[in-house]
Structure 1
Amino acid sequence: MLWASKADIGDDHSAVPTPSANSADAGFARDMTVHHQQAVEMSYIVRDQTDNEEIRRLAYDIAQTQANQRGMLLGWLDLWGLPKSSPDGYMSWMKGGRHVGHEAKAGSLMPGMATNTELARLRGLKGNQAEVFYLQQMYDHHMSGVDMASACVKQCEVETEKKLADSMVQGQQSEMELMTDMLRKRGSEPR
């Protein structure tokens, strides 16, 4: 078990463990905050690039959900007194060292994340082209987010964080199904 310290909290003086800086709990919280921040950014970009209410509603839902989850994860890092970035780099907490089955493409921080060039491209597209590109990017983003959250469900030890990670898996898989349908309506598919 990777626990750094314990604090007595509550009337029963039960010990509440604090994850160590190199635990899966801390690593997931740090990495997912970065991953979620880009999903929020992409969602706000597409909101301004289309008038399609279905896309704007999905983008709004993703931005709000992931911003709220990001706040919880950052709050836990603060509560635990742990750094918000890892000196070991991204994904080092995952067993096997890296994202299973996925590698980060050149120019992105983590698997599934868009590069600066791709973000600039999204900003330059309008209407249906912006919608398709956003849906494809977000599908990839969610696929890697599901992998990361599934790893936390298996490796993390803080039960509340495991529950949040499991809800991320369920929610993002559902959104991936919706995005696949939305892409089909636009004559496209996930990449």
Structure 2
Amino acid sequence: MTRTQWAAVTAVVLALLFAGAATVVASAGPEPRAETGAEAAPAVDSADAGFARDMSVHHQQAVEMSFIVRDRTEDEEVRRLAYDIANTQANQRGMMLGWLDMWGLPKVVAGVEPMAWMGMPSHGSSHGSSHGAGHGSGQSGPLMPGMATAAQLDELRAASGKRAEILYLRLMTEHHKGGVHMAEGCVDACRPGVERDLAQGMVDAQQSEILLMAELLKKRGAKP
């Protein structure tokens, strides 16, 4: 075989090899994307977003009540409890609002009643009035379970000493019960992750504080 014939045969073989390789690549399809580990943001009407919005409002009132009683009593037990609740719930509220920012979701959604994400679109306060939390509670319209009314917050502001302690412990007991109910809703409906873990932590901590507040009320000769 001459050099010219050999070169021609070699060119044909190489062409066939390249064609075969191209066919294999084409049949394999595009290369899969590398996993980033980032989850898609939850929808605005999801349990995750609803819990973050509603519990932020619920926590805001707990912080408010705790600051009120701090200035209305000298009792160290109640003041310590109020400080712990205010500090813990302010931090948790900041986390939840931060998640909403990270997800690009609004902190308030017009026309959506509290706890609609739990399939419970309409709630009245457990204390009677169902409108107008006011006084920094961050909620207008129907109140979420456990939230104090504007009149009850005014009563707490006007009280002092043992009377303020009893009012605070009673209001916060009901507030915690409503918070536990909502947190349990997130444990059931939120997607696995840090938010659902936080909700479970709220359930555990607030149930423990309910027991503590029952003991503090008993020491003051009062019932929850």
TM over 0.5: yes
List gaps (5 residues or longer) in structure 1: 1-10
**Across the two proteins, how many residue pairs are aligned to each other?**
177
1:133-152 alignment runs, 5 A limit:
133-152=167-186
TM-score with structure 2 setting the length: 0.76
Give, in angstroms, the shift of residue 95 of structure 1: 2.8
1:20-99 alignment runs, 5 A limit:
20-87=43-110, 88-98=112-122
Q: Which has the higher contact order (CA 8 A, sep 6+)?
A: 1
Structure 1 residues 112-137: Cα deviation after superposition (integer angstroms, max 9, x where no partner) = 11111110100000000000000000
Match of 1:4 in 2: none
Structure 1 residues 33-58: Cα deviation after superposition (integer angstroms, max 9, x where no partner) = 00000000000000000000000000
Bigger strand share: 1
Secondary structure in structure 1 of the residue aligned to 2:39: strand
> What is the alpha-carbon distance in structure 2 between the residues aligned to residue 31 and residue 189 of structure 1?
29
Match of 1:155 in 2: 189
> What is the alpha-carbon distance in structure 1 between the residues aligned to residue 56 and residue 120 of structure 2?
21
> What is the alpha-carbon distance in structure 2 between the residues aligned to residue 46 and residue 170 of structure 1?
24
> What is the alpha-carbon distance in structure 2 between the residues aligned to residue 97 and residue 125 of structure 1?
34
* Aligned residue identity for 2:53: R
Bigger CA radius of gyration: 2
* Aligned residue identity for 1:81: G
List gaps (5 residues or longer) in structure 2: 1-33, 134-142
TM-score with structure 1 setting the length: 0.89
> What is the alpha-carbon distance in structure 2 between the residues aligned to residue 117 and residue 187 of structure 1?
24
Alignment RMSD: 1.4
> What is the alpha-carbon distance in structure 2 between the residues aligned to residue 15 and residue 142 of structure 1?
33
Give, in angstroms, the shift of residue 15 of structure 1: 4.0
> What is the alpha-carbon distance in structure 1 between the residues aligned to residue 151 and residue 37 of structure 2?
50
